[in-house]
């Protein structure tokens, strides 16, 4: 019975995914504003030949800086947690 519900649930998810993909493929693109501007004026505004680099580091520079800050904070947090675990836990424990 559990296997039936699993297969039934996966079948429903698959049907929904194909339905949504079909709707998205025939609908017009809503990204004609800022995205179109970025693609059209990349070389003129940034003088960069690589569009991806120009968009990430010039048009979306502050966003990229924020993402880098969050990533570094997360890595630092994980390093602190793992360092304490490797050293043997809390300092107030007696061995």
Q: In the predicted model, is pLDDT for residue 38 greater than 90? A: no
pTM over 0.75: no
Res. 17: pLDDT tops 90: yes
What span, in angstroms and rounded, lies between the C-alpha atoms of 85 and 77? 13
- For the stretch 40-86, pLDDT in tens is 888 888 888 888 888 777 777 788 888 899 999 999 999 998 887 66
């Amino acid at each position: 019975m559990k296997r039936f519900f699993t297969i039934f649930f996966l079948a429903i998810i698959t049907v929904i995914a194909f339905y949504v993909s079909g709707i998205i493929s025939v609908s017009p693109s809503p990204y004609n504003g800022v995205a179109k501007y970025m693609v059209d004026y990349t070389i003129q505004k940034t003088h960069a030949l690589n569009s991806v680099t120009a968009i990430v580091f010039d048009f979306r520079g502050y966003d990229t800086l924020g993402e880098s800050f969050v990533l570094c904070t997360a890595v630092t947090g994980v390093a602190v947690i793992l360092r304490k675990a490797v050293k043997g836990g809390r300092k107030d424990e007696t061995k």
